[in-house]
Amino acid sequence: MANKTPKIAVIWFPGQNCEDESKLVCESAGMKADIIVVNSSVDPKILEQYDGFFIGGGWSYEDRIRAGAIAAKDPIMLKIKEEAKKLKVVLGVCNGAQILVETGIIPGLKDKVQLALAPNTNPKISGYYNTWVYVKHECKKTNAFNIAGVDEVMHIPVAHGEGRFTTTDKELIKQLIKNDQILFRYCDEEGNIDEKYPVNPNGAVYNIAGITNKEGNVLAIMPHPERASWNKQLPYYEQHSFEENEKAAPCMKIFESIRMYLEKRIK
Please report, for the chain, the start and end positions of each structural domain, with discontinuous segments joined by +.
7-266
> Are the beta carbons of 192 and 64 closer than 8 angstroms?
no
pLDDT tens readout for residues 158-171: 999 999 999 999 89
> What's the chain's average pLDDT?
95
Instruction: Kindly list the catalytic residues.
Output: 94, 224, 226
pLDDT tens readout for residues 131-153: 999 999 999 999 999 999 999 99
What is the C-alpha separation between 215 and 242, in angstroms, rounded? 40
Can you spell out the DSSP letters for 198-253? TTSSS--GGGEEEEE-TTSSEEEESS-GGGSSBGGGSTTGGGS-HHHHTSBPTTHH
Task: Output the pTM of the full model.
Answer: 0.96
pLDDT tens readout for residues 214-263: 999 999 999 999 999 999 999 876 667 878 888 999 999 999 999 999 99
User: Strand pairing partners for 250?
Assistant: none
Nearest to 167 by CA among 156, 153, 181, 188: 181
**In the CATH scheme, what is the homologous superfamily, with its name and number, of domain 7-266?**
Class I glutamine amidotransferase (GATase) domain (3.40.50.880)
